[in-house]
């Protein structure tokens, strides 16, 4: 169900309608010098709105660098006083949240692990109740859009109206070139269900490698994203966490210069008329596809009945293998993406087996 939450646009709290939101800074605050020097370099770029820096770092296993703790909040206050940038950090529990509010931190975000726990999110929301805080919510590690929405709703019910979702990718179930798989369709579903919720992308955690950051960032803007959260360190080679995915402030500026920002709408009647014409053709084709699927289902029912009469199993693995080989070969000849066709016909065949099984069991 599509929900319209009372959420303010990003420009309400950034006071900037010229640039998309850019949150930038080191994965972790390591020393006061590193914190301030990186901030000074980033503050030279007017496209940077918020200086980010991890104070508490949730690590998978003990022994890794887990952040400097509350002293980092004092460093962020110095960044804010010296550069004028808003400052932000991740909170993982109620105590973190209370400390940030006391320190006057402008932007808080809930990390992927925390988003996955409704109890943790509710504790954070309870602390924030009655404040005018700006809160960002990263997607949970698994592609559960309802869990993501649930975290956003808990904060909204606490009265938080400056809300932003962060797409940082999902734990991959197989090896990919990315650290976290983008799974853009989950982002699309979030935007469909919460159309007025601002969403930004964290290409650093999706890519995992700095050489992939531009590719992911451009894809995000092509998808109509509202901004980026990018990790930037004065000297990534010395970073105590996530060194491979961080950019120097200079390299970040160069990447931003290359990015092409897309428009959501354009005031051009000729363009709109042509777009409508093409969309109408797509709609007609989709209608034909659905009619063909309906006809296919009728044949599937006949097959199910025939198998039942002859006491044959619904799943015929040899037929499945033959069919998939034929479909992928045809896809190659037609210039279609083989992976897409495999997924499409796997779904179609799984539904055919389901229908046949139900028919046989009657």
Predicted pLDDT at 304: 87
Mean pLDDT of 263-285: 90
Predicted pLDDT at 205: 97
Q: Under CATH, which architecture does the 10-258 domain have?
A: Alpha-Beta Barrel (3.20)
Which residue matches tokens 């699309």? 188
Cα separation, 271 vs 142, in Å, equals: 39
Topology adopted by domain 269-361: Chorismate Mutase Domain, subunit A (1.20.59)
| Sequential DSSP letters for 261-288 | PPPS----HHHHHHHHHHHHHHHHHHHH
Q: Tens of pLDDT along 211-250?
A: 999 999 999 999 999 999 999 999 999 999 999 999 999 9
pTM: 0.85
Domain boundaries, given as residue ranges, for the chain: 10-258, 269-361
Query: Would you say how long the chain is, in residues?
Result: 362
Lowest mean pLDDT among 37-51, 242-256, 300-314: 300-314
Q: In the structure, what pLDDT confidence band is assigned to residue 184 with cuts at 50, 70 and 90?
A: very high
| Sequential DSSP letters for 70-123 | THHHHHHHHHHHHH--EEEEEE-SHHHHHHHHHHT-SEEEE-HHHHT-HHHHHH
Q: Tens of pLDDT along 101-138?
A: 999 999 999 999 999 999 999 999 999 999 999 999 99
Q: What is the CA radius of gyration of the chain?
A: 25
């Amino acid at each position: 169900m599509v929900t319209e939450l009372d959420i303010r646009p990003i420009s309400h709290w950034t006071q900037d309608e010229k640039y998309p939101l850019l949150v930038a800074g080191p994965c972790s605050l390591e020393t006061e010098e590193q914190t301030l020097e990186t901030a000074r370099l980033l503050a030279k770029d007017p496209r940077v709105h918020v200086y980010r820096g991890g104070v508490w770092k949730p690590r998978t296993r003990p022994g890794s660098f887990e952040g400097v703790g509350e002293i980092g909040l004092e460093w962020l206050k110095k960044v804010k006083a010296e550069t004028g940038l808003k400052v932000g950090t991740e909170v993982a529990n109620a105590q973190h949240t209370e400390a940030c509010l006391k320190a006057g931190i402008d932007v808080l975000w809930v990390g992927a692990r925390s988003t996955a726990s409704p109890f943790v999110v509710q504790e954070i929301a309870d602390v924030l109740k009655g404040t005018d805080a700006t809160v960002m919510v990263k997607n949970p590690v698994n592609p559960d859009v309802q869990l993501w929405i649930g975290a956003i709703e808990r904060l909204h019910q606490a009265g938080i109206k400056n809300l932003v979702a962060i797409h940082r990718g999902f734990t991959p179930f197989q090896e990919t070139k990315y650290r976290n798989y983008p799974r853009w369709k989950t982002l699309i579903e979030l935007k469909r269900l919460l159309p007025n919720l601002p969403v930004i992308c964290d290409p650093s955690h999706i890519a995992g490698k700095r050489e992939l950051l531009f590719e992911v960032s451009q894809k995000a803007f092509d998808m109509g994203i509202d901004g980026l959260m990018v990790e930037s360190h004065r000297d990534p080679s010395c970073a105590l966490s996530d060194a491979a995915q961080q950019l120097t402030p200079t390299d970040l500026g160069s990447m931003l210069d290359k990015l092409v920002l897309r428009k959501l709408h354009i005031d051009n009647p000729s363009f709109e008329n042509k777009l409508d014409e093409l969309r109408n053709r797509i709609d007609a084709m989709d209608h034909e596809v659905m009619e063909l699927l309906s006809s296919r289902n009728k044949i599937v029912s006949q097959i199910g009945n025939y198998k039942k009469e002859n006491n044959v199993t619904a799943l015929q693995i040899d037929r499945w293998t033959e069919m998939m080989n034929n479909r992928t070969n045809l896809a190659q000849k037609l210039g279609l993406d083989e992976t897409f066709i495999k997924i499409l016909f796997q779904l179609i065949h799984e539904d055919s087996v389901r229908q046949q099984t139900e028919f046989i069991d009657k």
